[in-house]
């Protein structure tokens, strides 16, 4: 058995689910539109530049979840999937995931975006395991805070290794391993696998991939 790990935003998706969820909430009038849009853009630009303050971002990203009950959020998310997410899923991305599944590889989506937003997206791809930042809950309601280590930069390694350990596995359990990502923020996890793959990469990741002989692919139709 081999291991296949997939980043989500700008990798399997032709866009960013985190950013789009914030835009969706603005459209619903669930947050202050002008202020939220401005802060959302700043955090998005910081992420792309590799300078994101993950704690500040999570305080911003998770706070709206605590303001609404789960039933309403679930209804909104179904609409969000239909209007924002499915249009960003191309055939090539689906084919990539299905190819690993057919080979019997152990597949997981590994994303910094929180599990409320990304759980349904993982299921849409047929990916059975999700390693994501976890929004804390109490009595079935989100608190607005994260729980445990965010799945961001080196945190993706920490969370992936904990997941493998929970399955009685470790990196050495696999003859081959893949991680697909677009982002310089994922260089730590890309360096851990035997087959790092840069997918429509940002400039920093592209340069690193070229310098180290990593495969570069595009999943854009």
Name beta bridge partners: 66. Answer: none
The rounded distance, in Å, linking the Cα atoms of 16 and 73 is 19
pLDDT over 90 (residue 75):
yes
Q: Which of 148, 151, 50 is nearest to 109 (CA)?
A: 151
Q: Which of 46-50, 53-57, 110-114, 139-143 has the highest mean pLDDT?
A: 110-114
pTM for the whole structure: 0.94
pLDDT over 80 (residue 33):
no
C-alpha R_g of the chain: 17
Segment 165-189, tens digit of pLDDT? 999 999 999 999 999 999 999 999 9
pLDDT over 90 (residue 139):
no
Token pair 């969820």 is found at 21
Segment 188-219, tens digit of pLDDT? 999 999 999 999 999 999 999 999 999 999 99
Question: Can you give the three-state secondary structure of the chain, one letter per residue?
Answer: CCEEEECHHHHHECCCHHHHHHHHHHHCCCCCHHHHHHHHHHHHHHHHHCCCCHHHHHHHHHHHHHHCCHHHHHHHHHHHHHHHHHHHECHHHHHHHHHHHHCCCEEEEEEEEEHHHHHHHHHHHCCCEEEEEEEEEECCEEEEEEECCCCCCHHHHHHHHHHHHHCCCCHHHCCCEEEEECCHHHHHHHCCCCEEEEECCCHHHHHHHHHHCCEEECCCC
Which residues are tagged catalytic? Answer: 7, 9
The structural architecture, per CATH, of the domain 3-217 is 3-Layer(aba) Sandwich (3.40)
């Amino acid at each position: 058995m081999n291991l296949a790990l997939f980043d989500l935003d700008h990798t399997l998706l032709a866009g960013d689910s985190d950013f789009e969820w914030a835009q969706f909430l603005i459209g619903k009038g669930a947050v202050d539109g002008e202020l939220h849009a401005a802060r959302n853009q700043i955090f998005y630009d910081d992420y792309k530049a590799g300078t994101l303050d993950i704690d500040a971002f999570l305080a911003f990203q998770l706070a709206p979840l605590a303001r609404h009950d789960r039933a309403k959020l679930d209804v909104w998310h179904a609409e969000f999937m239909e209007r924002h997410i499915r249009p960003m899923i191309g055939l090539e991305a689906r084919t990539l995931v299905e190819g690993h599944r057919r080979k019997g590889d152990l597949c997981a989506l590994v994303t910094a975006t929180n599990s409320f937003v990304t759980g349904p997206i993982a299921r849409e791809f047929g990916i059975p395991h999700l390693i994501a930042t976890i929004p804390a809950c109490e009595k079935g309601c989100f608190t607005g805070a994260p729980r445990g280590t965010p799945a961001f930069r080196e945190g993706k390694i920490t969370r992936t290794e904990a997941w493998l350990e929970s399955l009685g596995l470790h990196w050495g359990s696999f003859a081959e391993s893949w991680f697909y990502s677009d982002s310089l923020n994922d260089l730590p996890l890309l360096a851990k696998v035997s087959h790092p793959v840069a997918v429509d990469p940002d400039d920093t990741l592209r340069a690193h991939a070229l310098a180290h002989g990593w495969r570069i692919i595009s999943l854009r139709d």
